[in-house]
Structure 1
Amino acid sequence: MSNVKKRLLKEKLAKGAMQLSGMLITGCLFFIVGTILYKGLPYLSWEMISQTPQGGFYIGKDGGIFNAILGSLYLASVSTALATLIGVPISIYVHMYVKSGSFLERACKLLFDVLFGIPSIVYGAIAFSIMVWMGIRASLLGGIITITLLTIPIVVRTIDELLKTLPIDLKHVTFSLGSTRWETAKMFLRYIRPGIFTAVLLAFGRAIGDVAGVLLTTGFSDNLPKYIDEPAATLPLAIFFQLSSPIPEVQGRAYASALVLTFIILTIVICTHILASKQQKHKI
């Protein structure tokens, strides 16, 4: 067999493997979404979305998941806002004030890469230990602290990748015109603004869908979250507790809860793609 035929054979095999992988992943996605729709749609109703559970930790058949929806939105919104307020200045500092290629820059990026890959249950365990030491009970505040620590690396690494897309000469030109580092940083932030929104949405999606990090720190409650020092329900934990019930109606409501969470995540993904396309157009 000639070299040309071998190369063509390898290309066909690689193409076939990629197509097979794509079909497999797409099939798994449709299977998961289809299962949630099939088992959860019959139990989805306005009463389920707008009411709180009536049976204590979803043991009863009555009530809904409004407390879990509200708790997840509170938890994800506040933690994402805090992660953004902390993560964006860190990215700007590493990119603008730390010498490129220095040991400090490499160490910072390596640190956030490691933090990005740590499982959320580790964040929850560490936060739980700190809460026990400080005498803080499981509450919405504990969950916010845990998820904030979890989402800071997401914001930092996303913003860092966005700043890498900026032309290198742009920084030198602004400095040559007499701009300070902070003035240059503000210009860069305006340039990557759609990308920052994308980072925020990615962090929000991770925050609202996490269960391991809030399992030990947020607690659970059938009531609506009113105070930050009280336990609060979240959608992932609500799904977990309802699936643990032996009552078929409660299990069906768990799939309906998963359907609500999937819809929220799908909305975030669509918004992320729209903002990413705007960022690409802005670059062009």
Structure 2
Amino acid sequence: MRKIEENIFKVLMILSTIMISSTLFMILYTIFSKGIGSLSWDMVSKIPEGGFYIGKGGGILNAIVGSIYITIGSTLLGLLISLPIVIYINVYAKRNATLASITRLSYDILFGIPSIVYGAFGFAIMVYMGLKTSLLAGIITVTLMIIPILVRAIDEVVRVVPEDMSNAVFALGGTRYETAKIILRQSIPGIITAILLSFGRAIGDAACVLFTAGFTDSIPTSLDQPAATLPLSIFFQLSSPIQEVQNRAYAAAVILTIIVLIINIVAKIASKNLSKNKI
């Protein structure tokens, strides 16, 4: 009987793996088969010209640069906010302290809130403060969205670090600050994974920046100017009834997929190398 149950679960796991792998393959096949033919150097090196969204010339350089600006800015800002929170609830606060438990519960709730809600919240703040759609507003809103991802992911990694390591530092006369540095150094591969997750969420989200970053055919040169993003560029082009424009949308999706793939590869290599150098 036990052998039968084991075989049943083994078959289910194999089927699940095949289903997930097939889904990924179909997504990539659809995007590349429809978009690779429209992919050109002009797509990645030029901003949209007049009539771009009805089939005329130009490219999506504005959306590529805008996405990179917002994603890097929000990821760095989110990391600067998330790390102190994780350090406090794991090093400075007592284990299973009420404040730490409430903090974790709060970020669990925030993690599940849809991105469109963050976009609406960011828009409400902009209206209240009299701000306009801009690169800065997009960065702030996306930062709010990815902070729960960073906190949850980094917190889980830090909690895996053996408690004996902290006790050993304290036994040697180390301070909590020195303990935090050692714990963070041990958690670097996991922190990189958390950054990767937040980066992928930030660069691929459209709803969060729809009301806050705006959209423009130009490349922003300051924080108070609107910024285009790849997800919104894909959305606007897919909304067109012109087949050529729709194919360009799939080409933009190919570019977005390649960017995420490059970030994944770089993060994997960095995480592997840093893991070898941990103390």
TM-score (structure 2 length as normaliser)? 0.95
Q: Which residue of 1 aligns with 2:207?
A: 212
Spell out the pairing of 1:112-151 with structure 2 (5 A cutoff).
Answer: 112-151=107-146
The answer to whether the 8 Å contact 1:195/1:279 transfers is no
- Structure 2 unmatched ranges of 5 or more: none
Q: Which residue of 2 aligns with 1:170?
A: 165
Q: Secondary structure at the match of 2:222?
A: coil
**How far apart are residue 95 of structure 1 and its match?**
0.5
The answer to whether the 8 Å contact 1:69/1:235 transfers is yes
Alignment partners' CA distance in 1, 2:263 and 2:135? 23
Alignment partners' CA distance in 2, 1:51 and 1:100? 54
Q: Which residue of 1 aligns with 2:102?
A: 107
Larger mean Cα displacement after TM superposition, 19-28 or 183-192 = 183-192
Alignment partners' CA distance in 1, 2:94 and 2:111? 23
Aligned residues: 279
Q: Secondary structure at the match of 1:58?
A: helix
Alignment partners' CA distance in 2, 1:37 and 1:139? 32
- Code of the aligned partner of 1:98: A
- Code of the aligned partner of 1:139: S
- Structure 1 unmatched ranges of 5 or more: 1-5
**How far apart are residue 57 of structure 1 and its match?**
6.6
Alignment partners' CA distance in 2, 1:261 and 1:199? 19
Q: Which residue of 1 aligns with 2:251?
A: 256
TM-score (structure 1 length as normaliser)? 0.93
Q: Which residue of 1 aligns with 2:238?
A: 243
Alignment partners' CA distance in 1, 2:270 and 2:162? 20
Q: Which residue of 2 aligns with 1:91?
A: 86
Alignment partners' CA distance in 2, 1:52 and 1:58? 12
Alignment partners' CA distance in 2, 1:155 and 1:122? 18
Indicate which of 273, 276, 280 corresponds to 2:268. 273
Indicate which of 170, 185, 190 corresponds to 1:190. 185
Indicate which of 220, 227, 231 corresponds to 2:226. 231
**How far apart are residue 207 of structure 1 and its match?**
0.9
- Code of the aligned partner of 2:115: S
Indicate which of 61, 82, 86 corresponds to 1:66. 61
The answer to whether the 8 Å contact 2:48/2:60 transfers is yes
Indicate which of 182, 198, 201 corresponds to 1:203. 198
Q: Which whole-Å deviations, capped at 9, do the CAs of 1:35-71 have from their partners, x for residues lacking one? A: 1111000000111110111135723421000000000
Structure 1 vs Structure 2 CA RMSD: 1.7
Larger mean Cα displacement after TM superposition, 53-62 or 183-192 = 53-62
Alignment partners' CA distance in 1, 2:103 and 2:268? 28
Q: Which whole-Å deviations, capped at 9, do the CAs of 1:219-259 have from their partners, x for residues lacking one? A: 10011111211111000000000001111111111000000
